[in-house]
Each structure stands twice: as C-alpha cells, then as structure tokens.
C-alpha cells in the first residue's frame, strides 16, 4: 500500500534496530576492533532495505516493472493463476536490489493466491512453480495482468499488503520480499515486450511491455 516514502523500507526498521543496537553495545564494550564486522552487517542491511520513491515511465498502454533486478525470462507460456496463454516476463532480484514490489498497472485486484513451497535459487526457471509464491491477478481495463512474488534461496518471507477488491495505481507499493527473489509477470498475448533477457530494470521507472487498450 502507499505510505510516505521514508527512504528506508518499514520492513527493515526492526532489523536495523537490532543490528545497530548490538553494534553499538559491542563498540562501547570492546571498541572498533570487535565491532567492525557488525557495522559492515549494519551497512548491508541498510542498503538492502532502501526504498527510494520512483517516477513512472511515460507513455500509453505501458506495463511497468514491479521490481528492480535483471530480466531472466521473456517467453510465451501458460499463466496457471489466470488459466490462459500469456507472455511471461520475469525479474530476478539479487540481495543488492531494492526489494519493494510495486503494481505494474492501474487495475482492480481480482484474485490473490498464496502457495507454500521450496526455496531454490530464484534465478532458475523451476522457481516459478516450485518455490513459495504469491500471485495477484489484476483486471486492468479488461486486460488480465498477473504479478507473482516468488521467494528465493535466501528469501524466507513474502509480504503482500493488498486484498481482493482493492484498486491499484501503477507504481503503487503493494509488497516486499526479503533477501533475494523474483517477480513473474504474465501478460496477454497481445503484449509487445520492451525488454530482453539480461536487461537491468527498475521498479516503476522501467516499462516491461506495451499492451494495447490498457489505459
């Protein structure tokens, strides 16, 4: 859901408080010689939970990237959540990417499906069907767009803050995945992909595809 952008994601505040508190205590008792590894961990956690505000890519009929990362899949396949043939575009997030997830389109949330599963490397194709995942099916002006948060090798928590019946705006923050993962996007076959495998993308800033009649 939308909330004032604090630069650091709200999901990271408990982790920062814990690691920072321990680092300060060890620094006070033993000095930098003993505390420097904890400060390095603190800096890593700080960068992982950064959550910068984003400006949406300009243009009509655009599907925005729901996550930061690298494109690992652009292919036609079955969308098992909306039960249709679709164009699938997958974004892999490593531990150095921003992990906030944002809506790819304006639309109405029609379904939310959660599946428990494994935690294999999210860079692998089988992660889409074997890993823990959460699928959101959106009606975008009559076009069906499915966003799937997929847990990864290190990720152990998928967070989704929306509900069936909610209306989303393109670029609106709707979830978070902790510590490495991927997001699969299923689009109508009429979609024109604007990215290729290997491309680096940024949530909201980058358009993944163009779908005629989306807006």
Going across the sheet that includes 173-177, the strands are: 100-102, 173-177, 158-160
> Residues 100, 103, 181, 196: which is the catalytic one?
181
The region, left, alpha or beta by phi > 0 then psi within -120 to 50, assigned to residue 60 is: beta
Instruction: Report the 10 Å Cβ neighbour count for 14.
Output: 9
| Burial of residue 208 (number of CB atoms within 10 Å: 0-12, 13-18, 19+) | buried
Q: Annotated catalytic, 181? A: yes
Contact 178, 95 (CB under 8 A): no
Contact 168, 115 (CB under 8 A): no
* Active-site residue set: 181
């Amino acid at each position: 859901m939308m909330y004032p952008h604090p630069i650091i994601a709200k999901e990271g505040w408990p982790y920062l408080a814990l690691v920072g508190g321990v680092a300060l205590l060890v620094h006070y008792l033993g000095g930098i010689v003993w505390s420097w590894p904890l400060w390095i961990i603190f800096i890593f956690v700080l960068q992982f939970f950064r959550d910068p505000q984003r400006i949406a890519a300009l243009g009509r009929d655009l599907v925005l990237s729901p996550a930061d990362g690298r494109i690992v899949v652009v292919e036609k396949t079955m969308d098992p959540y909306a039960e249709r043939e679709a164009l699938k575009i997958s974004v892999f997030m490593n531990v150095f990417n921003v992990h906030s997830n944002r809506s790819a389109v304006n639309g109405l949330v029609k379904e939310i499906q959660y599946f428990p599963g494994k935690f294999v490397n999210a860079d692998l194709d089988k992660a889409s069907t074997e890993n823990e995942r959460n699928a959101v099916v959106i009606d975008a002006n009559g076009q069906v767009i499915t966003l799937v948060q997929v847990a990864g090798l290190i990720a152990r928590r998928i967070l989704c803050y929306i509900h069936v019946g909610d209306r989303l705006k393109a670029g609106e923050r709707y979830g978070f995945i902790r510590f490495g993962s991927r997001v699969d996007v299923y689009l109508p076959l009429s979609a024109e992909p604007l990215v290729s495998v290997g491309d680096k993308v940024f949530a909201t800033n980058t358009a993944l595809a163009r779908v005629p009649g989306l807006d």
